[in-house]
Structure 1
């Protein structure tokens, strides 16, 4: 293992991203052991979502100043924190930032002092701290880091050693909390923090390698506890992001504690994340409004979550999974409970997870300033297994719908990834499509599943939609497809010389082929819209669904959607941004239109 004498912004960023990914792979095992503060089975999901938001936010930064990077990390954590453990983690990072000296690099001693600050800050975020939780493990880990940092100047030695102390503290949590001892598990939030440290240590140990070897999540025994929803005293997990000037966190904590329990107040004087379990969310929001402006809210019914987790209807529910080449509005993935497996995006030797550690906006910003042609690769089967394992915990069957087999090996990776999953029926659907066309197919299947349609019907709806959907694509230039090797350089030069651009379509076989040519981008757009109109006429003219996807071209997408609405006022038109996996080939300015007649 290499020696690490200092920590700067880039090293901090890479380590946290590695840790975040390690936790995300283990979300479902954490959900299984979720007992405290309520057994609603979402600690793993919440920690993973919080850390993915952090990773996505800092992945695009090139900040080498460690405190400034840590501040960015803390800001992302505060804005994206979910659940009790997510809010505590946000305050941990905030305290870590406050404890770091204002220098580009820090030593192990500096980091040890900051770790103690982070632990103290995490404790202060809680109205009624409880031992045997993530707080205890954070404190024990921080003390060990600080103790070793007095004599050891090497992060590569301190981090593995302090991980051992964190694991020892974790194993002790059932002795500190009767609920854990009775359930036969360790604390889920504390285990999540240990996973974060483990991912970081693994990254440090394997930093010399270009890619990290996969470590499959270990099998865990589910917690044993009272499975009646009525055992949950406060029904709603309620969160808010509060903004203002000089927010009095102590007064806010006292007021919030009057409305429920599991109160976490994370953040600083101008921005605060509030987490409370309560029976009166609106009353809580009224209280918060007296302290500042409410910028964000979230309410989850924990009794409903509990019922969903343990009810006897699992076998009847159908889960939907796709890959990140599926372009849909971001909110729709959550509304329709669609599982998504990210494709890999590579800028040289840097590896990102599409729409997870690299958002579309970040991708196009990076695309604009680099000469390196971005590339994509299919997810490994293990990534599908991870998502399938989570979805199968709540659904007896899964319909997995993916990018055309003719364009990628993603479909086959999904088939292989399903093999380790037991007691779950699977159907894999080759959409023979991509981007917003795949999105329309997935949306149709997800809506059918959400309405309670049986497995066979959902499969039929997905296959029928895949047969009918039509997609057309136009690009303002061929230079990106030439640079990526999709079009021979000679053909690209000739097209540029003549000012000719193609309109592409996804064929019934699932390949992308030119179906029209035009002079200039405006001409290509006109031909694309004529082809879309012809495809729409194949339906009954009513109730057709349309989609417009764009690569960093929001104004153009809005213009095209207005044109569609003018011609089809009774139809549904959705707009979304193409993810990095497809934006890498079409480049900025490309648009795709689709119709499901």
Structure 2
């Protein structure tokens, strides 16, 4: 039972959760026995296999299920031949090894990757450890089991490749005195994704699901008890990294304030570092644990406004190492250093971790102002530019680009110190909306004060026309909005008609920007790319 609880708490991924299920069934079969005979253990192995199979919505051959089920049959046969526990366990180990070696023939993705099932291998190694103890052999240190990098990558790729329809491998650990039944949890989770595995052991519930909305899964789990741990790993990013054979010249890294949609990040291979959003005492990774729709739902219900903080140092190191694993050089582009400590923390992380060939750029921008720079950087990288040359070009482009922002509420600006309470009171009384910009130094400045909601869009369009006359030949726009898609669409149509730009991106403002500007805000980033020179280095 202790091992089962530990397995539930420590399980990671499909394979870990499946092994935990086996141990729960195994432990329940032996519960209350002062000692266990070979027959008892054989029955427990069978019960573990049965418990595991019942926990799976779509049992797959070639996984740990095949290994433990076939091993259970051999175990009962061995127990009938001899009461010697040593003989029994050696037979169990030998049969498990035999079935494990056969798993690639049962699952094409394992055969393609040249690996065996990870969960099945974990079970076999666990049995082997018990056999070594029975035989009086020393337990081998972990180093003896270390595989080379290519084998680890192949195994991880096989695990990811079993289901690529959803983006995030999501897990939650819940503690509670009145936890729901595992079957009830599975039924609820089917609304959110696939590869559902749920384990309940005493006052502990662990769930695993592949989903596009991990934040909604976290919210659901909060109904059942106290969430003590959670994670959401981006499987698409993992698959891209692990399946990359030929190194790219330059990999691009941005932070989550870029407001670039996930499909765009995926398509261009841009790696994202999440900032953090704090609601009460709960911390979320922006756009990983907390998607925009869930953020605004929480914002409307919150008694206190959330706060934000820069990414954890480990997130920078993780992103830069992932980028270096697939590229010769890395270019990191981050939110304005005048608005956040993210840029400085990125520099410190590179130095502290000793990661080489990394260039870090202060965008002096935010939201899609940063996002458009990231897209331009990726285009230049694809064209063969080196990271230092791309950084120089981004600074040139930024100097002829800009970002305009308007808000619907003063509450968030008051708390951030951008507007005094007195000015906010007068502004609200007179229905005055501020028009703000992020200037060339990367700071927020007031451009104008607009009276009347119906005048905001025309005034922003007039300001853009003034700034972009004569019309640039190479122009992009990005429109970020905080739950006002109808305004964003109106602005998009107007910009397209007036400027004939290369591109107009529209995206919901993510949690970090939404925290500071509030619901109803929207912004337009414009990026002028005229005058791009030839790269100066090879």
TM range (shorter): 0.5 to 0.7
Match of 1:572 among 503, 519, 526: 503
Name the counterpart of 2:512. 581
Write the distance in 2 (CA, Å) between the matches of 1:425 and 1:331.
27
String of CA shifts for 1:344-403, please: whole Å, max 9, x gaps: 111111211111111100010111122211111111222201111222111121100000
Name the counterpart of 2:385. 453
String of CA shifts for 1:1-58, please: whole Å, max 9, x gaps: xxxxxx9xxxxxxx99x979xx6xxxxxxxxxxxxxxxxxxxxxxx5xxxxxxxxxxx
Instruction: Identify if the C-alpha distance between structure 1 residues 179 and 427 changes in structure 2 by more than 3 Å, giving closer, same or farther.
Output: farther
* 1:136-147 pair list within 5 angstroms: none
Contact kept? 1:471, 1:592, Cα under 8 Å: yes
Write the distance in 2 (CA, Å) between the matches of 1:192 and 1:436.
45
Contact kept? 2:275, 2:512, Cα under 8 Å: yes
Q: Secondary structure at the match of 1:418?
A: helix
Contact kept? 1:401, 1:430, Cα under 8 Å: yes
Write the distance in 2 (CA, Å) between the matches of 1:423 and 1:480.
37
Contact kept? 2:277, 2:283, Cα under 8 Å: yes
Contact kept? 2:413, 2:419, Cα under 8 Å: yes
Match of 2:494 among 542, 559, 563: 563
Instruction: Identify if the C-alpha distance between structure 1 residues 225 and 416 changes in structure 2 by more than 3 Å, giving closer, same or farther.
Output: closer
Write the distance in 2 (CA, Å) between the matches of 1:484 and 1:334.
33
Deviation at 1:317?
1.8
Number of aligned residue pairs: 387
Instruction: Identify if the C-alpha distance between structure 1 residues 596 and 222 changes in structure 2 by more than 3 Å, giving closer, same or farther.
Output: farther
Name the counterpart of 1:391. 323
Match of 1:372 among 304, 326, 332: 304
1:363 aligns with 2:295: yes
Write the distance in 1 (CA, Å) between the matches of 2:444 and 2:458.
19
Contact kept? 1:132, 1:173, Cα under 8 Å: no
String of CA shifts for 1:182-218, please: whole Å, max 9, x gaps: x9x997568999xxxxxxxxxxxxxxxxxxxxxxxx9
Write the distance in 1 (CA, Å) between the matches of 2:420 and 2:51.
55
Write the distance in 2 (CA, Å) between the matches of 1:443 and 1:328.
9
Name the counterpart of 1:152. none
* 1:37-48 pair list within 5 angstroms: none
Q: Secondary structure at the match of 1:460?
A: helix
Instruction: Identify if the C-alpha distance between structure 1 residues 494 and 543 changes in structure 2 by more than 3 Å, giving closer, same or farther.
Output: same
Which 5+ residue runs of structure 2 have no aligned equivalent? 24-30, 33-46, 73-92, 105-112, 124-142, 167-185, 197-234, 529-538
1:317 aligns with 2:256: no
Deviation at 1:328?
1.5
String of CA shifts for 1:515-549, please: whole Å, max 9, x gaps: 111112332332222222223336x5323101100
Name the counterpart of 1:120. 53
Contact kept? 1:132, 1:176, Cα under 8 Å: no
Name the counterpart of 2:62. 129
Instruction: Identify if the C-alpha distance between structure 1 residues 90 and 545 changes in structure 2 by more than 3 Å, giving closer, same or farther.
Output: farther
Q: Secondary structure at the match of 2:326?
A: coil
Name the counterpart of 1:253. none
Instruction: Identify if the C-alpha distance between structure 1 residues 353 and 307 changes in structure 2 by more than 3 Å, giving closer, same or farther.
Output: closer
Instruction: Identify if the C-alpha distance between structure 1 residues 385 and 588 changes in structure 2 by more than 3 Å, giving closer, same or farther.
Output: same
Deviation at 1:422?
4.6
Contact kept? 2:271, 2:319, Cα under 8 Å: yes
Write the distance in 2 (CA, Å) between the matches of 1:562 and 1:477.
25
Name the counterpart of 2:346. 414
Match of 2:244 among 282, 303, 308: 308
Contact kept? 1:473, 1:590, Cα under 8 Å: yes
Name the counterpart of 2:275. 343
1:492 aligns with 2:424: yes
Contact kept? 2:275, 2:310, Cα under 8 Å: yes
1:522 aligns with 2:454: yes
Instruction: Identify if the C-alpha distance between structure 1 residues 189 and 381 changes in structure 2 by more than 3 Å, giving closer, same or farther.
Output: farther
* 1:501-516 pair list within 5 angstroms: 501-516=433-448
Write the distance in 2 (CA, Å) between the matches of 1:408 and 1:544.
27
Write the distance in 2 (CA, Å) between the matches of 1:225 and 1:370.
47
1:547 aligns with 2:478: yes
* 1:66-215 pair list within 5 angstroms: 85=14, 119-121=52-54, 125-131=58-64
Write the distance in 1 (CA, Å) between the matches of 2:427 and 2:514.
21
Question: What TM-score does the superposition give when structure 2 sets the normalisation length?
Answer: 0.60
* 1:468-483 pair list within 5 angstroms: 468-483=400-415
Question: What TM-score does the superposition give when structure 1 sets the normalisation length?
Answer: 0.55
Write the distance in 2 (CA, Å) between the matches of 1:465 and 1:482.
32
Deviation at 1:124?
7.4
Instruction: Identify if the C-alpha distance between structure 1 residues 342 and 94 changes in structure 2 by more than 3 Å, giving closer, same or farther.
Output: farther
Instruction: Identify if the C-alpha distance between structure 1 residues 127 and 366 changes in structure 2 by more than 3 Å, giving closer, same or farther.
Output: closer
Deviation at 1:495?
1.6
Instruction: Identify if the C-alpha distance between structure 1 residues 222 and 467 changes in structure 2 by more than 3 Å, giving closer, same or farther.
Output: farther
Name the counterpart of 1:534. 466
String of CA shifts for 1:86-114, please: whole Å, max 9, x gaps: xx689999999xxxxxxxxxxx99xxxx9
Contact kept? 1:379, 1:410, Cα under 8 Å: yes
Contact kept? 1:347, 1:375, Cα under 8 Å: yes
Write the distance in 2 (CA, Å) between the matches of 1:439 and 1:225.
33
Write the distance in 1 (CA, Å) between the matches of 2:260 and 2:240.
27
Contact kept? 1:472, 1:503, Cα under 8 Å: yes
Write the distance in 1 (CA, Å) between the matches of 2:240 and 2:346.
30
